Amino acid sequence: MRYLASIGTLLGLSVFMACAQENVPPIQTPSTAAYTLEKVVDDSGILWGMTFISKTEILATEKGGTLYYCSAGTKQAISNVPEVYVRGQGGLLDVATDPDFETNSIIYLTLSSKGRGSEPGGNTALYKARLVDNSRLEDVELLYQASPNSKKGQHWGSRIVFDPQGHLYFGIGDRGNRDVNPQDISRDGGKIYRLNRDGSIPQDNPFVGQNGAKEAVFSYGHRNPQGMATHPTTGEIWVHEHGPRGGDEINRIQKGKNYGWPVITYGINYSGTPITTQTKKEGMEQPFYYWVPSIAPSGFAISDSDKYPNWRGDYFVGSLKFEYLEHLTIENQQVVAREKIAPNIGRVRNVQQGPDGYLYLSVEGKGIFKIVSKS
């Protein structure tokens, strides 16, 4: 009976995975590339986040805790970076410039911190600082620190973007506590957050005034978001997040919405056992797109550049697992094709569109590359 039950479980999982894959077009690898790759920053570590302060100058975070100023093929460390609690997947995470950076020199950082009080463990924190002479940070200010602390080293998040009105959005993963954090708006973790640039709570956030709620929360039911982009046409916030074994998702983030994790998912446990039998439930959002099998997505860009006329409006996502940049062709608000860009380049940690219109990708252990179109 136990043997028959095991067969039944495996058959059920096979049917489940087959159904899940109906959403996923096969990925193509072009026989000839319409682009070349130009290395602009050399680095042997993990450049987790990057942002541009001009067409030729980049700020890049190294997971171990260093913030770099990069220009003309060189890089130098910036001093007075907040202390980083390096644990597992945690470290110095994303960096973003203020919408008024040219006049105020303000930047924002997310990182894994030591957590609150004397309790062991840590959580994700958001900092604001002023960049001085491209060499040091001043007026460093903690804007948000998640709680409670967690001793686990996974699912810290985190990316930072701004909407057209200047609100700051950032993500925090479920911190490996999927059964509690993502669905509970009184706890941090498994959420997308929305703040004013000074760290205050926008009064039109969805849970303002709700008893016990984390008022910075904008959406919930997320697993581990490591890609976030502001749509260049609509101004909407888009996020992708790691699934478990299968079920990586892209979501259009809407105010107060529940994105389902772990109640609904297109993934399964790493052991092969089911997490849930549900992929849909009333009151929970369906993903815009999902991957089965997982590609381990990190970094997210939406192209609106004339540098790549055939790619306008398309999505670009780094694959840590399969070591390429994925190009998703978007037509009529659907993914209609998948393409490997820079196959076998290495673990693509981030992708950004620079102010010069080119796409830049950071690759673990190698550095930052610019994609130069041949056309």
End-to-end CA distance of the chain, in Å? Answer: 63
**CA 108-113-114 angle, 5° bins:** 155
- The set of catalytic residues is 155
Residue 2's contacts (CB-CB under 8 Å, 6 or more residues apart) are: none
CA distances from 280 to 258, 284, 333, 362 (A): 12, 7, 20, 35
CA distance 55 to 60: 14
Q: Is the peptide bond before 158 cis (omega within 30 degrees of 0)?
A: yes
State the SS3 of 349-360: EEEEECCCCCEE
Report yes or no: 260 and 221 within 8 Å, Cβ to Cβ.
Answer: yes
Pair of tokens at residue 357: 């219109």
Q: Which whole-number Å values give the CA distances from 373 to 35, 37, 332, in the listed order?
A: 4, 9, 25
Integer Rg of the chain from CA: 20
Rounded-to-5 percentages of helix, strand, coil across the chain: 10, 40, 50
Residue 24 in tokens: 């996923």
DSSP character string of 94-150: EEEE-TTHHHH-EEEEEEEE--STT-SSBEEEEEEEEEETTTEEEEEEEEEE-SS-B
